[in-house]
């Protein structure tokens, strides 16, 4: 006869995030889960930019997306970033199904969960570094008094605590990209999405930006980097290769 109090618990146990835990812990749940994702641009003629993409990305991982020009990398990043809606399939972000969200709900989820870094920096030229970095906080409705200290902390974390109140136009390319990284992380997003973040940088500045991105991974964020550069892909935990809209 078994003692129910001492025996293994039958049925699912509720995990810390409210989800069922079956068996021993297998690491953190994926923050990104895509299943059967397709994206067709209507055209004419229609372009099948993504076909049956299934992948997942866990917190604390650096994922690289590589592949030839026109293969669908930017489309994949746009779908991951909730900037574009897939034609088919399921995309869960932090376990939440994003596929049927209203435009307003997608925007809110994007603002709270994601940070973006682009090849061309996309900083606002007439704002100072602090003001640029604080922009995601404005969108999130963080009160004015709390924005500056958070933006300053983010700029300090990328080594730019001495460039707070200058305009990004007075900075070097490497410094501008570090401002962009600060802007991408100021609201502590779960996922940072980067499209060719080192594409405009020399070797030393590329390495510095990659050091920052791997530092985020060490803080349990998921970082996704589209890249052409083998040195960048070599630092990833996982490389997704996109060819003709398919991921392997």
Backbone angles phi, psi at 187, to 5 degrees: -100, 15
Region of 122 (left: φ > 0; alpha: ψ -120 to 50; beta: rest) is: left
Among 74, 131, 150, 205, binds Mg ion (CB under 5 A): 74
Complex with Mg ion: residue 180 or 226, whichever CB lies closer: 226
Task: Quote the CA–CA distance of 39 and 50 in Å, as a whole number.
Answer: 5
Q: Which residue is nearest to Mg ion (CB)?
A: 74
Judged by beta carbon distances under 5 to 8 A according to partner kind, the member of Mg ion, ligand ADP, none in contact with residue 49 is ligand ADP
113 binds Mg ion (CB under 5 A): no
75 binds Mg ion (CB under 5 A): no
Q: For the window 71-100, what string marks contact with ligand ADP as x by the rule CB under 6 A?
A: xxxxx-------------------------
Judged by beta carbon distances under 5 to 8 A according to partner kind, the member of ligand ADP, Mg ion, none in contact with residue 150 is none
Complex with ligand ADP: residue 112 or 119, whichever CB lies closer: 119
Helix (H) / strand (E) containing 96: strand 96-97
Region binding ligand ADP by CB under 6 A among candidate stretches 56-64, 68-76, 91-99, 177-185: 68-76
Distances from the Cα of 206 to the Cα of 41, 67, 126, 165, 232, angstroms: 33, 20, 25, 24, 8
Distances from the Cα of 237 to the Cα of 26, 72, 214, angstroms: 17, 21, 10
Look up residue 204 and give its DSSP letter: H
Tokens of 70: 């026109």
Question: Site for Mg ion (CB under 5 A): how many residues?
Answer: 2
Region binding ligand ADP by CB under 6 A among candidate stretches 56-64, 69-77, 139-147, 228-236: 69-77
Give the nearest distance from C-beta 75 to ligand ADP in angstroms: 3
Binding residues for Mg ion restricted to 158-197, rule: CB under 5 A = none
> Does the bond joining 44 to the residue before it have cis omega, within 30 degrees of 0?
yes
- C-alpha dihedral (101, 226, 129, 211), degrees to nearest 10: 120
Q: Which positions lie near Mg ion, rule CB under 5 A?
A: 73-74
């Amino acid at each position: 006869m078994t003692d129910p109090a001492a025996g293994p618990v039958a049925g699912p146990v509720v995990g810390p995030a409210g989800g069922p835990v079956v068996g021993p812990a297998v690491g953190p749940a994926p923050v990104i889960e895509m299943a059967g994702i397709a994206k067709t641009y209507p055209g004419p003629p229609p372009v099948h930019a993504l076909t049956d993409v299934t992948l997942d990305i866990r917190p604390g991982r650096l994922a690289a997306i590589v592949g030839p020009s026109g293969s669908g990398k930017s489309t994949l990043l746009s779908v991951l970033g909730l900037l574009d809606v897939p034609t088919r399939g399921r995309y869960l972000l932090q376990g939440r199904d994003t596929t049927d969200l209203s435009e307003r709900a997608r925007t809110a989820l994007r603002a709270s969960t994601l940070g973006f870094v682009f090849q061309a920096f996309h900083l606002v030229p007439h704002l100072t570094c602090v003001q640029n970095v604080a922009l995601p906080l404005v969108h999130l409705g963080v009160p004015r008094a709390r924005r500056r200290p958070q933006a300053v902390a983010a700029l300090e974390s990328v080594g730019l605590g001495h460039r707070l109140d200058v305009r990004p136009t007075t900075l070097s390319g490497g410094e501008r990209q570090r401002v962009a990284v600060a802007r991408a992380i100021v609201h502590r997003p779960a996922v940072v999405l980067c499209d060719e973040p080192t594409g405009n940088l020399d070797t030393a500045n590329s390495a510095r930006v990659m050091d920052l991105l791997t530092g985020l991974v060490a803080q349990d964020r998921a970082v996704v980097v589209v890249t052409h550069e083998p040195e960048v892909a070599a630092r990833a935990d996982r490389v997704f290769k996109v060819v003709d809209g398919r991921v392997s």
